[in-house]
Amino acid sequence: MSSMPRSLTIEPISGTLGAEISGVDLAKDLDDATVAAIRQAWLEHLVVFFRDQDLPPARFLAFARCFGQPIEYPFVKGLDEFPEIIPVLKLANERINFGGIWHSDTAYLDVPPMASMLVAREVPAAGGDTLFANMYLAYEALSDGMKRLLAPLRAINSSASADVSRTREDRIKDSARADARKEYTASHPIVRVHPETGRKALYVNPAHALRFSGRSEAESAPLLATLFEHQVKPEFLCRFQWRVGSLAMWDNRCTLHNPVNDYHGFRRVMHRVTLAGDRPR
């Protein structure tokens, strides 16, 4: 990245994935060189983090549009003036956190999002970290025999899996979209080729994958369980500790993430934007 602006500093946060970028104010209009440098760092590290950003909703959306087209979440209404921004919150009296399971965002859509961005508005004094997993490495660590087995397989992904449905129940109660379907389903390859890097990634997750195409849930369960355990091994992970004003931007095409639910009795309020992607291949 010889053309990287001198003000930017990019520091990996683990040996696996994730980097923190400093030296940029995301609330300002970014020049092309800065946007290109951030995108390159994102493609290289899969998830990038920024600290101490003052991003009201309008500026948050402006930053997001530097990298793609924001899209609305199918189940929960966004902010009144900014429907592409959804609140991701857990109230002090709630026990289940929104999206609290390993997943890639809305993989049950025919064209799932390329990227997600999350900015912290209110965080507990401790807890509420997010884990991320590198699906390039998860795929590359498989045996050659397993790679051959997975190559032709597709997974049927559903929004109605009980384990993930329960993580959105509190928000459905207070901010459900009237036009949401009861269930969204999509068939995607278990191994996808990243359209920008050309690398292969394991594209399956325990929140949404019900079964393999052409096989029953019972027939699919043993292999899916093996993959789910494999893809979140410690050597594939990084962990991010939030502060107010922190922002994360991750690549849904080659990562999984899981918000840790360890802050009962405290509020955690985030704003999320997802960016339009392409059909997995």
Quote the CA–CA distance of 122 and 179 in Å, as a whole number. 29
Active-site residue identified among 45, 105, 192, 271: 105
Residue linked to tokens 């010889």: 2
User: Of these residues, 192, 257, 268, 271, which one is catalytic?
Assistant: 257
Please state, in angstroms and rounded to a whole number, the distance separating the CA atoms of residues 58 and 38: 20
Q: Which of 168, 192, 208, 272 is catalytic?
A: 272
Look up 168 and say whether it is catalytic: no
- Quick check: is 272 catalytic? yes
Answer yes or no: 230 catalytic: no
Assess whether 208 carries a catalytic annotation: no
Q: Which of 45, 103, 188, 268 is catalytic?
A: 103
Per-residue HEC secondary structure of the chain comes to CCCCCCCCEEEECCCCCCEEEECCCCCCCCCHHHHHHHHHHHHHHCEEEECCCCCCHHHHHHHHHCCCCEECCCCECCCCCCCCCEEEEECCCCCCCCCCCCECCCCCCCCCCCEEEEEEEECCCCCCCEEEEEHHHHHHCCCHHHHHHHCCCEEEEECCCHHHHHHHHHHHHHHECCCCCCCCEEEEECEEECCCCCCEEECCCCCCEEEECCCCHHHHHHHHHHHHHHCCCHHHEEEECCCCCCEEEEECCCEEEEECCCCCCCCEEEEEEEECCCCCC
Could you give the residue numbers annotated as active site? 103, 105, 257, 272
